[in-house]
Amino acid sequence: MRWGVFGAVLLLVLLVACSNVPRDCAEKTDFVDRDTCILTTAIAQNESAACSGIVNENWRIWCYSDIAVNTRAATVCEKIAAELPRAYCIKGVAEAAADVTLCLMINASAAGDECWRVLSVATNTSLCANVAELKQRNRCYDDLGRATLDYLHCSNIVQDTEKRDSCLLRIGLKTDSVEACDAILTPYTAEVCYINQAIQQLDETICARIASERVRSQCEGGVDLARQHANRTQG
């Protein structure tokens, strides 16, 4: 009698779960085959209702997440019960839609921080101040500085001189921004930046910003050689 009741309940659960399941999948008796069928069919048809019929929780999350991103519908993510997977689902939609407002829907700090960082670079907008964790916030400013080649973003990096100076140096090597070199805190790194700028612009006056007389002289010599080479090439 006990098994009869249990079997009836199980059958009822399966029938409810199968209500949104594609007919070809519902007919499969092996749960793995059935879940695979539902997953691939639901994603192919962007039919989130079918995902509820997947027994394996990770695959069910996968199903909702893929469809949410494909359709740019964060509401689909709300069907995911677990907070962290739901947060990363919303983050995925935010990235796909380039919609920064969706980052506000994320409660999980790690996913939220990543959302702000990725969207900041994607939209070339400084959203990094919204990143809660310092290391991730610095990474956000670093990524944004490198993406926009705007040294001011690098200057917002705190408590990590190496990352800050590396960000500024990259911009100094890729642009004519002497200001990027000025903002570098480590003397040797700043010298490398100034020398590159001076040679790149054929402007020995930039060398005057170097404190070391020996390095300043090397900088001026490098500019002179670069100018001679440029004259020979033009001649």
* pLDDT tens sequence across 45-69: 999 999 999 999 999 999 999 999 9
Asked whether residue 24 is domain-assigned, the answer is yes
What's the confidence (pLDDT) of residue 19?
A: 55
Q: Alpha helices, DSSP H only, in the chain? A: 2-18, 23-26, 31-45, 57-71, 74-77, 83-97, 109-122, 134-148, 151-154, 161-174, 178-182, 187-201, 213-234
Q: What angle do CA 233, 181, 143 make, to 5 degrees?
A: 105
Q: Is the separation of the CB atoms in 48 and 42 below 8 Å?
A: yes
Asked whether residue 90 is domain-assigned, the answer is yes
Res 17 pLDDT > 70: no
Res 21 pLDDT > 90: no
| Residue whose structure tokens are 């909702």 | 64
Q: Is the separation of the CB atoms in 90 and 74 below 8 Å?
A: yes
Length of the chain: 235
Res 88 pLDDT > 90: yes
Confidence of residue 4 (pLDDT cuts 50, 70, 90): low
Asked whether residue 41 is domain-assigned, the answer is yes
Which residue range is the domain that position 27 belongs to?
Answer: 13-99
Mean pLDDT within 97-104: 94
Asked whether residue 85 is domain-assigned, the answer is yes
Asked whether residue 167 is domain-assigned, the answer is no
Burial class (CB in 10 A: 0-12, 13-18, 19+), 155: middle
What's the confidence (pLDDT) of residue 16?
A: 43
The CB-side HSE value for 227 (13 A sphere, CA atoms) comes to 11
Q: Is the separation of the CB atoms in 145 and 171 below 8 Å?
A: yes
Q: What is the largest CA-CA distance in the chain?
A: 102
Mean pLDDT within 85-93: 96
Mean pLDDT within 95-105: 94
What number of other Cβ atoms are within 10 A of residue 19's Cβ? 12
How many domains does the chain divide into? 1
* Stated pTM of the model: 0.79
What's the confidence (pLDDT) of residue 1?
A: 47
- Residue 69, both tokens: 């991103």
What number of other Cβ atoms are within 10 A of residue 222's Cβ? 16
